Amino acid sequence: MKDAKQIKKIIEKSYTDIAKSSSDCCCSNKKAQRQSNEMGYSENEMNQVPDGSNLGLGCGNPVAIASLKPGEAVLDLGSGAGFDAFLAVHKVGKKGRVIGVDMTDEMLKKARENAKKGGFGNVEFRKGDIEDLPLEDKEVDVVISNCVINLAPNKEKVFRETYRVLKPGGRLMVSDVVLTKPLPEEVKNDDELLSGCVAGAILKQDYIKLLEKVGFAGITIHKEVPGFLKDYTASITFSAVKQFKA
């Protein structure tokens, strides 16, 4: 059984390799756009972002249900090359701001280059672990994430950190992979399936219980479809709210 440090090293190496191997070539963009279209992104959305920011790595479209408003502050967990962060910028406008957090230097480099290409002055990308976010308490109105939380060894810490940085009444909007039944041991120990958003996933009911445990309310699953391993996984898009309390 791998420990948390080993898991994070495997994931960081995998996504570093993806960032290095991805390019702005036409064939790469077309493949990413086709995958993103299947996940629920519109052609208009995909045309709003700089070339090279959509790597087709998600499992849904959390921005579509975010109901983002002009002037809001948004955090994107595991922001990658910046795809969802840039879509969020369009929704919050010049008076809003977007913060992307990623632990992979190569992804951060791509995201910052893409922000410069797109002329986005109100988006920033910070290096950090989503289990220990580099943000102040109650700093953002909305947290979005796309197929990233399943990769974290300690999902409860992710949800506690997310709850901490959200303002009271703030919203969590996530697309992620969950299990519909326990995985065989050989799948759990597969490095490729770990970075492929399968081996690190937990049962759907346990995922929901963790959200409730840290204090989230109004948990609503907006979409659920079979995942990569159809007999074991599902991709869900859900929302939740940080309750108003002291």
Length of the chain: 246
Rounded to 10 degrees, what is the CA torsion of 13, 21, 19, 58?
Answer: -100
Q: Using one digit for the tens of pLDDT, what is the confidence trace for 170-190?
A: 999 999 999 999 998 888 878
pLDDT tops 50 at residue 25: no
The two three-digit tokens of residue 140, written as one number? 């953002």
Assess whether pLDDT exceeds 90 at residue 111.
Answer: yes
Give the tens place of pLDDT for each residue, 112-165.
Answer: 999 999 999 999 999 999 999 999 999 999 999 999 999 999 999 999 999 999
Token pair, residue 203, equals 């049962």
Handedness of CA 133, 135, 138, 142 (dihedral sign): negative
- Please report the pLDDT score of residue 27 as a whole number: 38
Which string of DSSP letters, residue by residue, matches 71-139? T-EEEEET-TTSHHHHHHHHHH-TTSEEEEEES-HHHHHHHHHHHHHHT-SSEEEEE-BTTB-SS-TT-
Residue type, 94: K
Q: Does 32 have pLDDT greater than 60?
A: no
Ramachandran area for residue 215 (φ above 0: left; ψ -120 to 50: alpha; else beta): left
Cβ 175 vs Cβ 235: under 8 Å = yes
Distance CA 99, CA 75 (A): 5
pLDDT in tens, 56-65: 677 888 888 7
Domain edges within the chain: 4-242
Return all residues near 1 (Cβ < 8 A) that are at least 6 apart. Answer: 189
**CATH level 3 topology of 4-242:** Rossmann fold (3.40.50)
Q: Which of these, 168, 178, 162, 166, lies nearest to 221 by C-alpha position?
A: 178
CA-CA distance, 239 to 218, in Å (whole number)? Answer: 8
Is residue 38 pLDDT above 70, yes or no? no
pLDDT per position as a tens digit, 39-56:
567 667 767 777 778 676
* pLDDT category of residue 36 using cuts at 50, 70 and 90: low
Q: Does the pLDDT of residue 28 top 50, yes or no?
A: no
- Beta strand 216-226 with 233-242: parallel, antiparallel or unpaired? antiparallel
